[in-house]
């Protein structure tokens, strides 16, 4: 998929590799990582992103650990889910520190 001009065979191959990478990852792990990044960007101001990132990360890790080893389609995403949990937790800690500081008015 070319941004400008005609797509080349290399562009199609690159798109196929990325599509395969996405299909092999657990969707909740990807969502946990995205929510963790959003939560960290906003310093935990909206607690929903941080809490949802942690919840989705935990759910995806449980589903990945329960997966049968003889399953034909292996799903990866342990690192994505763990990173999403860590980023969400860090953003919630930052939010707690920022919200608990006393501001003289």
Could you state, in chain order, the average pLDDT of each consecutive group of 10 residues for the chain (105 residues)?
A: 74 85 85 92 85 93 77 72 94 88 68
Total-model pTM? 0.77
Six-digit token pair at 11?
């562009």
The pLDDT of residue 47 is 85
The pLDDT of residue 4 is 75
The pLDDT of residue 37 is 93
The pLDDT of residue 68 is 55
H helices of 1-105, in order, are 9-24, 27-41, 47-66, 78-100
* Helical pair 78-100 and 47-66, crossing angle rounded to 10 deg: 150
Spell out the domain ranges in the chain: 10-100
């Amino acid at each position: 998929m070319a941004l400008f001009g005609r797509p080349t065979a290399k562009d199609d191959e690159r798109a196929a590799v990325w599509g395969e990478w996405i299909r092999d990852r657990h969707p909740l792990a990807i969502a946990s990582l995205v929510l963790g990044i959003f939560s960290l960007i906003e310093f935990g101001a909206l607690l929903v992103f941080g809490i949802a990132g942690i919840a989705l990360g935990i759910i995806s890790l449980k589903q990945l650990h329960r997966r049968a080893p003889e399953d034909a389609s292996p799903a990866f995403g342990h690192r994505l889910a763990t990173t999403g949990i860590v980023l969400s937790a860090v953003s919630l800690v930052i939010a707690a520190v920022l919200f608990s500081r006393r501001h003289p008015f």
